[in-house]
Amino acid sequence: MLLFIFLILLFAAMAAMSFILLHRYATEGREVSANTAKQSFANDQKMRETDSKEEAENSKDTEDFLKKLAPGRTIRVQILGDDYLTDNHKTLAVTAPQEMHIRCGKEERTVPSGSLLRILWSPKNGSGENVSDDIFRESSSGDPARSVTAVLSKDMSLTVKPAEKDQALTLPELKRGQPNPSYAGKLCIYGSGDGLTVINEVDLETYLQSVVSSEMPSSYPMQALCAQAICARTYAVNCMELAREQKKIADLDDSVAYQVYNNYPGDDLSAQAVAMTLGLVMNRSGVYYYSTSCLTENRTDLDSEENFRKFLDNPPPGDAEYGSPWIRWSVRISRQHILDNLKELYGCSWKELHRAEVLERKPDGQVQSVIFSSGSEELFVEGEYQIRRAFGCTGLKLLLNDGSEAENPGFLPSAYFYIQECAGMPKKNAKTDADSILICGGGYGHGIGMSQNGAAAMAQNGAGYEEILNYYY
C-alpha cells in the first residue's frame, strides 16, 4: 500500500515537473519569438526609413535639378537690325491691327488703326521730355495708309504698345527669316548717338514660344521641343538676372550671340512645348545648347591626334543625331584664304603659309589651340570660336555626311576637326591641291551642353525631356 502511494506521488511529481518545464519552454519561446519579431520590425522600419531617406534625397536632387518659377516674369530683348548685322536702326516702321498707344515722357498719343508709325533717327540732340509737333508729324501721302512719323535723337525715347493686350506689333521692314515679324508686348525705342535701340518688353513664356520655333524645327519630337523650352527658359532667366545686376538696358538680344528669337514665328507645337514645361528651369548657371554633336560626349581619350583621327574616321550610325548630315563634314580651303583670314583677324601680312597645325585638344577631342607659321614668324590661336573663324571661308562648299554640299557659313561648323594636309608642305601652283589644306570634322556648334539633334534622337527613342536633360547636364 505504501509502495502504491509512493509511486502515485512520484508520477505526480514528474508530471508537475514536466508541466513546469513545458510552461517555461513555451514562455521563453514566446519571448524569443516576440524579440525576434520586434527586431525584425525594427530592421524593416530601419530599411523603410533608409528607403524614404533615399527617396527624399532623390526627390531633392530632382527638385534641385528642375524647379518652377513664379509666373509673370517680363524679359527685355534687344531687336537687332536687318539680318542681325547691326545693333541699331536708322529707321523703324511699326504697324498693328488696332490702335497703337505711344508714350513719350509724361505725354501719350494714339496712332489710329491701319496707320503706319515710322520712327526716324536724327543725330542732333533732343530733350526727349515731351511729345511735340517737332517730334510727330502726320501725313496721308506717300504711304498706302495714313502715316505718323516720330523723330528721335540722342537721349530721347518712346514706348509703343497695341491697344489690345493680345495684339502684336509688326515691323514690316525688318529683315528676318519670316516676312513682317510681329512682337507681342511693347516696344521701347531709345535714341542714341548711333541710331535707334529697340527693346521688346514681353512676357517670358510668350518670348519662349518664338525662341523654340527659331532654335529647333517644329517637326522634332515633342519631348525634344520640351527639353529645348526648358533650356531656353533657363538660359533666358540667367541672362535676366545677370543683366539686372549689371543694370543693362536689355537682358539679351535676339541673335545667335544669345539665343535666336522670332526669326520664325511661334506655332502651335512650340506653344505646346512651352505650356507643358510652364515655368520649369534647371538649377544651373551655364545652360547652353548647339545643333549637332560629333558623338564625343563623355569621351576623355581623344586629346591626341592619333586617337581623334581614328575616332572621326570611324563612320557613325546612320540614325545618329537624328540623321543630321552635319555629324561628319569636310572642306578644302586654300592657303591664301587662310592668309586673308589671319590678316583680317590678327593683322598678319604674310605672303606664304608654311604651317597650320593643331597643338592642343580637350579630352573629348575639341581643338583648343592651333599654330600658324610663315618662315620664322608664328601665330598661336586659342579658343574654339577664334579657331573656327581662322579657318572660315564664306562661299566654299562643305561636303556633308550624306554626300550633299552646304555653304561654309564663314567659320568652320565646329572645332572637332583634324587637318589632313598641313605642316611642312611647300607652296605650289594655286590650281593644285598642294596649295590648299583639307579639313575633316564633325558636328555643328560649340559642343557645350545639349545637342539639339541628339535630343531629337533620344526623344524619338522614347526618352522624356527630364531624361534628355539629365543626360546632357
pLDDT digits (tens, 9 = 90+) for 356-395: 999 999 999 999 999 999 999 999 999 999 999 999 877 8
Q: How far apart are the C-alpha atoms of 169 and 187, rounded to whole Å?
A: 8
Identify the pLDDT of residue 277.
97
pTM, two decimals, is 0.79
Burial class (CB in 10 A: 0-12, 13-18, 19+), 209: buried
Per residue in 206-229, pLDDT (tens digit) is 999 999 999 999 999 999 999 999
Q: How far apart are the C-alpha atoms of 36 and 360, rounded to whole Å?
A: 65
- Concatenating the DSSP letter of every residue in 386-405 gives HHHHHT--TTPEEEETTS-E
Identify the pLDDT of residue 395.
81
CB 126 within 8 A of CB 152: yes
Reading the block at residue 8, the C-alpha cell is 502515485
Identify the pLDDT of residue 377.
95
The amino acid occupying position 352 is E
CB 226 within 8 A of CB 454: no
Q: Are strands 147-154 and 157-162 parallel, antiparallel or unpaired?
A: unpaired
CB 287 within 8 A of CB 446: no
Q: Are strands 157-162 and 116-125 parallel, antiparallel or unpaired?
A: unpaired
The amino acid occupying position 292 is T
What integer is the mean pLDDT of 272-282?
97
Q: How far apart are the C-alpha atoms of 258 and 384, rounded to whole Å?
A: 17
